[in-house]
Structure formats: structure tokens, C-alpha cells
Amino acid sequence: MQALRPWAAAAATLVMLLSGCSATEPPSIAPLSIEDGVPHYRSMTRELMAALSAKFPTVEWSREATEHLGPREDGQGCSFHPASYESKQGLEKASPRFKEVMAAVNPVLEKFHFTKVEKLADVPGGWTVIKSSDRHGASLSLSAKGTTLLSLGAPLKAADCNVALPAYGS
């Protein structure tokens, strides 16, 4: 029995070392550059709007805010917000518990390497909300309470946030 103790200690050490490299740990955040990130997140927003419009054709959407790029609060690069969109009707009425909303947006989220949405976010105040994020630190929120708002924010690498955004289609 004594001969097993050194082996057990070595096995425990190996398990501890390997657990530090576990695939279940979130990868470190590495923001995209402005040149890569802006077209990527613009495309994602357009495809999300197309998916929601196809699934809920009677829901009218309008641009709630234009896109903008500015310095992050922590001073580490820039923060990009593609145009956000708001519906006149709340999707929570058309899709109780957002099941149909999740089914519509998940293929787009997965295509753009965002986390799949499987449940509502825990948000107080009667809001119906789903959230998703990617490995670059971007976060998406689709929140409804009478109207529905789709918004996305993403950190981007840049030395200067006062630059012209890449043209559409680039």
C-alpha cells in the first residue's frame, strides 16, 4: 500500500496541472482590430435583423441609434456599437419566453461565433432578455418590454478611436 502513495501524489499533481489547461475555461479576450471587427459586427447585426424580420414579418423595426466608435472606459482600445434597432411591438407577446426568438437568432449567433442562447437572462423589472457574447469580448442583448431593442457592443483594438470607420461592404 505504501508503494501507491508516490503514484497517487504524482497523479494528483498531474490532474491539478492539467485542470489549469481545461477546455471548459473561457479563453482570454482578444478584441478584433477595427478593420476586422467593424465589418464583422455590422454583418452580424444585419443578419440578426434579417432573421428576426423573417420569423416575425408583422413586427416593424426602426434604427434606434446609429453606429459609433469611441474610447473604452478602461482606456484599453475602442468600443464599437453597430446601429441598434427597436421594434414598435414587443417580441415577448409574439414569442412567450422568447423560444421562437432564440430559434431565429441562434443560427446567426453560432455563425458569428457567439454563444448559443438557451434561456432568458435574469433581469428584474418585467423585462424579457436574452444575452450572448463572443470570445473577443463583444456582447449582444435583445430585450423586450412593450418594445424590443437589439443592441451590440464590442471592444476593438486600436491606438486611436478617432478614426473613420471602414466603409460598408469592405
Cα-Cα-Cα-Cα dihedral of 44, 50, 53, 56, to 10°? Answer: -80
pLDDT digit string (tens) for 25-47?
345 578 999 999 999 999 999 99
Share of the chain above pLDDT 90, in %: 65
**What's the whole-number mean pLDDT along residues 72-82?**
89
What span, in angstroms and rounded, lies between the C-alpha atoms of 144 and 90? 6
C-alpha cell, 35: 478593420
Using an 8 Å Cβ cutoff, are 88 and 124 in contact?
no
Nearest to 158 by CA among 49, 44, 35, 67: 35
The single residue listed with the C-alpha cell 458569428 is 112
Q: Is 31-157 assigned to CATH 3.30.2030.20?
A: yes
Using an 8 Å Cβ cutoff, are 113 and 134 in contact?
yes
**What's the whole-number mean pLDDT along residues 144-161?**
93
What is the pLDDT of the chain when averaged over all its residues?
Answer: 84
What span, in angstroms and rounded, lies between the C-alpha atoms of 154 and 81? 6
Looking at 4-13, 44-53, 86-95, 142-151, which range is the least confident one? 4-13
Give the chain's count of helices (H) and strands (E).
Answer: 4, 8
Domain boundaries, the chain: 31-157
**What's the whole-number mean pLDDT along residues 53-73?**
93
